[in-house]
Structure 1
């Protein structure tokens, strides 16, 4: 009974927040929204004039045109640099050029950002992996699709199956072994140069870094959960430049160990609510942060 009430209250609260955002979008002029965004992000009690907003837009536009090799479509949300991608192919193209770390950005990472995590994300490529990040980017005037991390790594493999080498870290032995076995079935031409479990004992990290430096894989996937996986990949970047991506629990999803939300929930952008219903004890505290996040959005705090 408790969880039934919790479910209803959660749905109502979410709908109210969505309605608030929609009302704001309809009744605020675009210039006012841009001014408030600039006020919240870049100024102290000094709202920009329409002329300064126009100048800033022209500067961004000219910057993008002056250097076509750099992708400048991003915004800072709680000082977390988040890129706006309108397609998965766009992300894949950029990461192939940049050879950096892909970091999934969601409401939880934005709210709980520290100086350390900001430094990692802002020097790499953070992409919107949650509806909260997508909405925050939209409030900044940027259109972005939601790119699930548990899917984009497979897009990477499909695109570069025959042209790049891969390395995998994460999960228990039985999980990583199952991942490698299934990958070889799904992608027969994949070139896997190394893999191991994600439980690093004393001395394991040094051996792993040495192996990465020796084998020089083109793409490295690390599934340990945040921020452990990002901290490990940062060390890997110091010994070898490659495409890196943190996968969290994606190995479990890929092997069927953990069931992902049905497609209808994903399409409704309510995957977070499905997970909450399935794992209330695990998800309650974290998902309550979503309401705080959307409240911040409604008040232009980011």
Structure 2
């Protein structure tokens, strides 16, 4: 990873310390305008913990151009380290920012991931909301990340942005394995964002977000996420006990 003027390192993962607006305006848009490849990781405590437990995955995350703090736990950890991050930067909000910019500039986007019906719905909603975007292509997430031919077919569609919703670590593994084949493109792993775009999962009301309780809202709506909450708790315990 290229280290910029301001980063905060948490468990060996360097997070860029900026606001979402500044990140998009001063970092991502210049990459897009120059048609330079760019790899963005939106890292929450779960991703940091996976990177802690797996050396190869940590190296993949550290190879990103930018790692942004997607998760209240990351902000709390930085605060505890007395190196506060300016703002939480979520994959969902970044996706909307990038889609807005793509719509304004008439850029092309590729949408990889999720179940076939979710992928189709998400792309259909993008077409309605952002009519000036060129859909370079889309495909469900049940793929072999080793498939070179499939990656080549995406490259040939010449997308300006590639949104990869395979879940971690698979989405980051796919990006790092194949991005060197591409001549251009902003690559970003976005987890469950397609489910939200498709209307299958609702975001927490703004009040919950403002109170940093989005995690609780999602847990109440999706009790199966309980194991993920335990991972976040372990992350915070390690931060507070300095057992990295």
TM-score range, shorter chain: 0.7 to 0.9
Give CA-to-partner distance per residue, 1:9-28, whole Å, 9 cap, x none: xxxxxxxxxxxxxxxxxxxx
- Quote the residue 1:126 is aligned against: 67
Bigger fraction of residues in helix: 1
- Quote the residue 1:115 is aligned against: 55
- Quote the residue 1:101 is aligned against: 39
Residue 223 of structure 1, CA deviation: 0.8
**Higher relative CO (CA 8 A, sep ≥ 6), structure 1 or 2?**
2
Cα 1:164–1:173 change in 2 (3 A) is same
Query: Which runs of no fewer than 5 residues in structure 2 stay unpaired?
Result: 32-36
- Quote the residue 2:34 is aligned against: none
- Quote the residue 1:245 is aligned against: 188
Structure 2 counterpart of 1:194, from 115, 123, 137: 137
Partner Cα distance (2:243, 2:6) in 1 = 21
Partner Cα distance (2:77, 2:69) in 1 = 10
Residue 72 of structure 1, CA deviation: 2.5
- Quote the residue 2:158 is aligned against: 216
Partner Cα distance (2:101, 2:68) in 1 = 19
Query: Which runs of no fewer than 5 residues in structure 1 stay unpaired?
Result: 1-68
Q: Which runs of 4+ in 1 moved over 6 A?
A: none
Cα 1:270–1:202 change in 2 (3 A) is closer
SS of the aligned residue for 2:188 comes to strand
Partner Cα distance (2:145, 2:61) in 1 = 27
1:88–1:152 contact (8 Å) kept in structure 2: no
Partner Cα distance (1:147, 1:77) in 2 = 16
Give CA-to-partner distance per residue, 1:96-133, whole Å, 9 cap, x none: 44532211111122223121222111121110000111
SS of the aligned residue for 1:226 comes to coil
TM-score by length of 2: 0.85
Q: How many residues align?
A: 232
Partner Cα distance (2:132, 2:189) in 1 = 23
Residue 201 of structure 1, CA deviation: 5.4
- Aligned counterparts, 1:20-39, within 5 A: none
Structure with max Cα Rg: 1
1:101–1:243 contact (8 Å) kept in structure 2: yes
1:105–1:129 contact (8 Å) kept in structure 2: yes
